Structure formats: C-alpha cells, structure tokens
Amino acid sequence: MKKGLIYLGLLFVTTLFLAACSASSPGEAAKKYAGYIQKGEYEKFADAIALDEKATPEDNKKNKEMVVALLKEKGAKSIEEKGGIKTIEILSETVSEDGNTAKVVLKQTYGNGDAEDSNFDLVKQDGTWKIVMDK
C-alpha cells in the first residue's frame, strides 16, 4: 500500500512538472520562444519551428540549421546594437475557431529604449504550439 502511494505521488508530481513546462496558450508559447532569442538559445528557437510535413527530415533539418545560422549572424548583431532585449510582452493572441492555429503579437523592448512588435503565426503540432515560418 505504501509503495502504491509513493508511485501515485511520483506520477502526480511528474504530471504537474510536465504541465508547468509546457506553454498552454499560443501567446505564452510565442513569448517563451522569443525568450530563447533573448538568451541567445537559437537552437531551442529553431526546435520550436513547426515541421513542414511535406518536406523530408533532411530538408527540415537544413531549414532549422539555416534559421540558427541567420539568427547567429544577423539577429544577434542587431539585438546587441539595440542593447539586448529587456522585456517581452504579449500584445494580442487570436486563436482560430478550430483551436489549431493562432496569431500572436509580441512587443519587444530593447535596452536602448526602442520597442518593436513581432508577429508570430503558430500551429498546434502534437499538442504543442509551434512557430510557422513563411517561405
């Protein structure tokens, strides 16, 4: 009986942990992904990109590698010139009727005081909000 309670407790804690780690809304997901850019975690950002189901795994891998390289080369320099990203705020979140796609607008404020809005299109893949990259 005691062993069963321990397993039940571990299951409960694990479930809470997994729920806390996943972003439940598209706005929270977009903010989390923008935070990856803020921290220079470009690989994590690339992992948040929705896979093109028509593309081969190799093509998806190449696309993610290109995103990482572009962010490292141009994105990091641009952000650094503005004094880094200081805050990220969700301005709006619009979820489609079917609940599988969303549009999110984030406001990023930089260290030099500049601010800009960023639009994110997201799609739910395997229960997780992912970024849709336009070609």
Block means of pLDDT (10 residues each) for the chain, length 135 residues?
42 37 81 95 95 88 93 90 95 96 97 96 95 81
pLDDT of residue 53: 84
Task: List strands edge to edge, sheet with 101-110.
Answer: 85-95, 101-110, 115-125, 128-131
Q: Which pTM does this prediction carry? A: 0.76
Instruction: Quote the pLDDT of residue 119.
Output: 96
What pLDDT, on the 0 to 100 scale, is given for residue 12? 39
Task: For residue 94, give both structure tokens.
Answer: 């619009």
- One-letter amino acid at 25 equals S
End-to-end CA distance of the chain: 57
Mapped onto helix, strand or coil, the DSSP state of residue 88 is strand
Joined together, the tokens standing for residue 115 give 């601010």
The H-assigned helical ranges of 22-107 are 26-38, 42-47, 57-70, 76-81
Based on the number of CB atoms within 10 Å of its own CB, is 12 exposed (0-12), middle (13-18) or buried (19 or more)? exposed
Q: Where are the alpha helices (DSSP H) in 1-135?
A: 2-21, 26-38, 42-47, 57-70, 76-81
Question: Quick one: pLDDT at residue 135?
Answer: 57
Q: Would you say 126 and 101 are in contact if contact means Cβ atoms under 8 Å apart?
A: no
